[in-house]
Amino acid sequence: MNKILAFFLILFFPVSYACEKGQVYPDKTFPEVQIKTSMGVIVVELDRDRAPITVNNFLKYVKSGAFKNTIFHRVEKDFVIQGGGYLKDFKEVVSCGKIFNESGNGLKNTRGTIAMARYDNPHSATSQFYFNLTDTPSLDPNAKNWGYTVFGEVVEGMDILDAISQVRVGYSKKIDSVNVPMEPVIILDVSVN
């Protein structure tokens, strides 16, 4: 293929990520994942015993490199830091599809946990995740509502998340959203330890 054609294909057909089929890292029940950000490193331990569908889904995105050069697009002090949905230029991360909600797994939305973001439909989570900055029982399931699936916890880097929670935020016209960091907080890379 000549260089001009290759450039054209890259320019007009953005790279998409291959969504893995089956189990990803099946030998790791409690995989540790390192999230390198522009503000420091966060390490999370995922719980495949309690959230097997959610952990496998998250690891698919990790293995494909889909989280590389994404941003934390929502930062709400004393609530959550959310990412996994947008690249630095605010293009959306390619979805591997919606997953089943596992919020009834016994894990709670407490400070330092990682959970899946979703829309009102309880089974609409795809790639977006969030970190809880405080205990948030309103995000847990109850007799009338599905909750938000917690699937791991921070084992290193809570100080980094606390620092991220202090960044200046505002409205972004690009994604029509508030609480967007005015200076991007970038997820440089995510890898399994």
State how far the Cα of 78 lies from the Cα of 86, in Å rounded to an integer. 22
Q: Where are the domains of the chain?
A: 30-192
State how far the Cα of 106 lies from the Cα of 102, in Å rounded to an integer. 9
**How large is the greatest C-alpha to C-alpha distance in the chain, in angstroms?**
61
Q: What is the predicted pLDDT for the residue at 103?
A: 98
At the topology level, CATH places domain 30-192 in Cyclophilin (2.40.100)
Residue 151 or 1, more confident: 151
**Chain segment 33-70, per-residue pLDDT in tens:** 999 999 999 999 999 999 999 999 999 999 999 999 99
Band (pLDDT 50/70/90 cuts) for residue 18 is: low
Q: What is the predicted pLDDT for the residue at 14?
A: 43
Closest among 29, 99, 88, 9 to 61, alpha carbons compared: 99
